[in-house]
Amino acid sequence: MKHIDIIDLMSDSSYLNKDVTVCGWVRTSRDSKNMAFIELNDGTSLNHIQIVIDKATIPNSKEYLKLGSSLKVIGTVVPSAVKNDGVEINAKQISVLGECPDEYPLQKKRHTLEFLRTMPHLRVRTNTFNAVLRVRSKMAAAIHEYFQKNHYTYVHTPILTASDCEGAGEMFTATTIGFSNEYKSAEEYFENDFFGQRAGLSVSGQLEGEVAAMGLGKIYTFGPSFRAENSNTPRHVAEFWHIEPEVAFAELEDIIEIAEDMIKYIVKYVIDNCACELEFFEKHFEKGLREKLENVVSSDFVVLDYTDAIELLKKADVKFEYPVEWGCDLQTEHERYITEQVYNKPVFVTNYPKDIKSFYMKQNPDGKTVAATDLLVPGVGEIIGCSEREADIDKLLNAMRSKNMSIDEYHDYLDLRKFGTVPHSGFGLGFERIIMYVTGISNIRDVILYPRTVGSIR
């Protein structure tokens, strides 16, 4: 079906006074005595194109005005009667591609995000989801561009895996058997299952990412990770998209520099390429959004030692729900206090107690902490989990034993420390979390096409 994108029509003045064909969905319409007006959107731009119908030329105009219906319009591009340097189309011929009855749920009024969550298949036709998904797409492009420019190789790590990278027991099991009385134990069940052992959906591509980095030097992954987290929060989904660079010959301070540089690059890319969408988010979701993002690009992130963070929280004039003691994991309320109340910018908290972190993190000489950092941002909390990896095989084995891990499952991973081990570091950025930060949308369910959360999938 030959037609032009509405975004091109609106940005290219050479279409003026020419006849064009556009296709789209009716977003709003207005009927008057001699004329009718349609705001048509084809998803290429947040802005709709106005279709002007002269009832003398186009009879039966009523059948084109139904919200949600899809149209093909042939007409002449003319300067807009109301918008400065805008254009509209004087319709010559309209055909209905798909009718839309009155029960169409997206009527003229502004719907709440909660309401829209009940119809993931239709909410894409709202300005909000149009803008979110376009920013999401631009951010994905920015991430690839950043790593490709800096000599990283994009690797595809397995989704089906036998090892739980984070050791948090949140791995979904992948099985082909299902309900059965045949097996006496879980062991027997999995021995008879597809892979002959228990397998699941990967919570992180890191372990295989490290394998790739030990030959390619600098790699990144960008794919889905799965976590059976039984918590219903605005920041967790069971399937999220995960960006995980892994860098050989990099220590903690090097990877912190890389993480900051990458975040700044993505944010700048969105400022430069999504002006219209940012203006929309600023108006409807977060006042001061643009200024916040400009500050992210232009100022240094804070680096704060975990031990100092604990002191800060203890001195805070706030009653936290979860008490603060050295050794505790930081809760969302603590993270938000640090980034929102104290610094009002992104903060790397470094050197966490080893007991609350994963087995693979490099053990610091103090014997108590690991060379790890989380990047916390205002409004969202943790967006990055990062660490230097333990490169010493004996220390790694000790950590695995103290966490009661089954060492046999990590044969390949341990081999990396045996054959030409190097200092190396990496991080995981939660894609939805950074989209929340950049758009000001406060629930993770609203930055992904189909959110999967505990008790809910469609």
Candidates 23-31, 320-328, 329-337, 379-387: pick the segment binding Mg ion (CB under 5 A): 379-387
Does position 125 interact with ligand 4AD (CB under 6 A)? The reply is: no
x-marked contacts with Mg ion along 115-134 as a string, rule CB under 5 A: --------------------
Q: How far is CA 182 from the centre of its chain?
A: 42
The least CB distance from residue 308 to Mg ion, in Å, is: 19
**DSSP string of 311-354, one letter each residue:** HHHHH-SS--SS---TTPPPPHHHHHIIIIIIISS-EEEE--BG
**CB under 8 Å to 109, separation ≥6 — which residues?**
none
Q: Residue 453 carries which DSSP code? A: B
Element containing residue 372 per DSSP (H, E) = strand 372-377
From the CB of residue 425, how many other CB atoms can be counted at a distance below 10 Å? Answer: 29
Residue 227 interacts, among ligand 4AD, Mg ion, none and using kind-specific CB cut-offs from 5 to 8 Å, with: ligand 4AD
Candidates 54-62, 148-156, 383-391, 416-424: pick the segment binding Mg ion (CB under 5 A): 383-391
Q: 416 in helix, strand or coil? A: helix
Residue 166 interacts, among ligand 4AD, Mg ion, none and using kind-specific CB cut-offs from 5 to 8 Å, with: ligand 4AD
Does position 385 interact with Mg ion (CB under 5 A)? The reply is: yes
**CB under 8 Å to 441, separation ≥6 — which residues?**
113, 128, 132, 281, 285, 435, 447
Site size for ligand 4AD (CB under 6 A): 23
Does position 227 interact with ligand 4AD (CB under 6 A)? The reply is: yes
User: In this complex, which beta carbon is closest to Mg ion, that of residue 245 or of residue 385?
Assistant: 385
Does position 359 interact with ligand 4AD (CB under 6 A)? The reply is: no
Q: What are phi and psi of 21, to 5 degrees?
A: -120, 130
**DSSP string of 135-168, one letter each residue:** HHHHHHHHHHHHHHHTTPEE----SEES--TT-S
Whether residue 104 contacts residue 114, with contact meaning beta carbons closer than 8 Å, is answered with no
E runs forming strands in 202-321? 218-226, 239-248, 302-305
Q: Residue 438 carries which DSSP code? A: H
The least CB distance from residue 385 to Mg ion, in Å, is: 3
Does position 236 interact with ligand 4AD (CB under 6 A)? The reply is: yes
Using CB under 6 A as the binding rule, the residues of this chain from 166 to 185 that contact ligand 4AD are 166
The least CB distance from residue 430 to ligand 4AD, in Å, is: 2
Does position 165 interact with ligand 4AD (CB under 6 A)? The reply is: yes
**Single residue of 23, 94, 237, 270 touching ligand 4AD by CB under 6 A:** 237
User: In this complex, which beta carbon is closest to ligand 4AD, that of residue 128 or of residue 387?
Assistant: 387
x-marked contacts with ligand 4AD along 378-397 as a string, rule CB under 6 A: ----xxxxxx----------
Does position 426 interact with Mg ion (CB under 5 A)? The reply is: no
Does position 136 interact with ligand 4AD (CB under 6 A)? The reply is: no
Q: Report the alpha-carbon distance of residue 257 to residue 385 in Å, rounded.
A: 14
The least CB distance from residue 229 to ligand 4AD, in Å, is: 5
User: In this complex, which beta carbon is closest to ligand 4AD, that of residue 87 or of residue 384?
Assistant: 384
**What's the half-sphere exposure (Cβ side, CA atoms, 13 Å) at 53?**
23
Binding site for Mg ion (CB under 5 A): 385
